[in-house]
Amino acid sequence: MLVISYFILGASSVAHSAANYTDAKAIFGIGQVMGIVVACLALMRYTSLRTMQHVLVFNQLVSDNGWTHLKQLQARKIAGMLVAHGNYEILLPFRAKRKGRTYECSIFEFVTNLDERSPTRRFICMHTRLTKAFPTIVLDNKYNYFDHGHRSDLTERIPGGVALSLEGDFSDHYDVSTTKGSEREATEVMSPDLMAVFADAADQKIDVEINDKDLFLMCKADFYSEQNLTALFDTADTAVYKLDRLSKTWMASSKEEAEDIKQTARETRQKFLMRPFHIGIGFVLTTLALTAFTILLLYKD
């Protein structure tokens, strides 16, 4: 429309006649506005159909595998590294029974300003319960690092966390963190067998969080696929087997120490959950201060 209007409005029969020029300009103006409106409506329709298609595919996926579709999923079933973001949405949750164990899975969407080209990020988060409480341990997958940065897609480490150095080449795949004072226990949990499980899953870009009796596996993905769900389930099955076997002997003679570990892990979880609240309070206070300053500046004598 823009190209055609350039030639027609510039034609001598139109350009030299005020009435013809006005009429032609109005016609092209209305046509261009209608073109924009139609394009916007088409985009809205496409987005709606795409969402509907995703839901249909998801429902079929759940039905075919005998899983249970969930209307909502509690925040406690989401990794602390993810819920630490203040603005998020939990999408398409389901519950699955596998090898006698229950898994909850969902797509976790949040907004970040780390990468302006793609402010919205999505992770698939899988959760299951363990038989024994373990200290907070976070495995930050290095395959998720930005091309020109030194941070992974999981934007913050554990509150009050410390880096943990493990043997072998495990540090080539993950940055490992735990809470201060839990280094020895976390090192015992991360046995060579368990490290081998997660090292095998590193190229699937899986991040891991162990906290109290909760095990979380995460991978960056916009939607469920056979590849990412298979990788998550297989890794979870093997990791749970290793951790359950460890729980039968690990610290069996020290109830006090086990209780301390459980309490520390729960406190760390609470700090994760409270971080968005603190960020929100800071934002509100800053907004109020700027508003008050603007009012005083405008009404200053």
Nearby residues of 48 by Cβ (< 8 Å), 6 or more positions away? none
Model confidence over 206-231: pLDDT tens digits? 999 999 899 999 998 888 999 999 99
> Domain segments of the chain: what residues?
2-50, 69-280
Query: To the nearest whole number, what is the mean pLDDT of the chain?
Result: 79
pTM of the complete model: 0.71
What pLDDT was estimated at residue 295? 67
H or E stretch covering 23: helix 18-65
**What CA–CA distance (Å, rounded) separates 136 from 179?**
6
What pLDDT was estimated at residue 25? 76
Q: Is the pLDDT confidence value at 260 over 80?
A: no
Query: Of 159, 133, 272, 139, whose CA–CA distance to 212 is shortest?
Result: 133
Distances (CA, A) of 237 to 79, 123, 124, 196, 259: 18, 19, 16, 14, 26
**What CA–CA distance (Å, rounded) separates 18 from 183?**
83
H or E stretch covering 32: helix 18-65
